[in-house]
Structures are given as structure tokens and as C-alpha cells.
Amino acid sequence: MIYVKNKPELVRVKHIARALEMKQQRSLAALARSLGMTPRTLQRYLNMRGASSSQIFDEIRCDLALSLLRETRFSVSAIAHRVGYTDISNFGRAFRRWTGVSPLQWRRLKRDP
């Protein structure tokens, strides 16, 4: 059994990860530091809950991309850059994995009744 002093709830971990995402600090080390833990301890803690820092940051990126596509007129390229992708093709692949459609298709579906 792994003992984690002052165990953060997974909701708190995600809340802090979201704040780090806004600063574009997407790393296990930054997340662990913000929680007052070592990266390895946080990694074990997340693994015990069936999660990982990369999954958490990926979920946050997805939520942010969906929000930007729905609520702004930013180009897909600008949104890809904002959520941390330097290559729009990689963003497109990730977005299709998240939603099953391309960013432009998703935007059209959500804007057209």
C-alpha cells in the first residue's frame, strides 16, 4: 500500500492541472510540485486511481479545444497552438480521437442547428 501524505482528491488534481494548463505548464513535475509531492509519488497515486498526468492534461486540452471551437471564431490552427500543438495535423488526429470527427466538422455540427 502506498501512503501519500495529505492525499489530494482527484478533482483537486484536475483543478490544479487546469490552472497549470492555462500557464502552459503541462508536466507531471509541475503538477506534483503544485501539490507538494514528488513526481513519482503523484504518478503512483494517479496509477492507483486508474489515471495518469498525460490523461488528465489530454482531457483538459480536449475541453479547452471544444470550448474554443464552440465559443470563438479562432482558426483551427490558432486553437491547435493554444492547446499546445505545434503541428495542426497532430491536433487533428488528437481531436478525431477525442470526438470522432475533425475540428471543422465538430464546429459546423455545434454551430448549425
Distances (CA, A) of 7 to 2, 3, 32, 55, 75: 11, 9, 12, 19, 40
Q: Measure the CA dihedral 30/31/36/41, to 10°.
A: -110
- The whole-angstrom separation of Cα 28 and Cα 6 is 18
CB 42 within 8 A of CB 28: yes
- For residue range 21-45, list pLDDT tens digits in order: 878 888 889 999 998 999 999 999 9
Global confidence as pTM: 0.79
| Per-residue confidence band for 10, with pLDDT thresholds at 50, 70 and 90 | confident
- The whole-angstrom separation of Cα 17 and Cα 34 is 9
- The whole-angstrom separation of Cα 48 and Cα 66 is 29
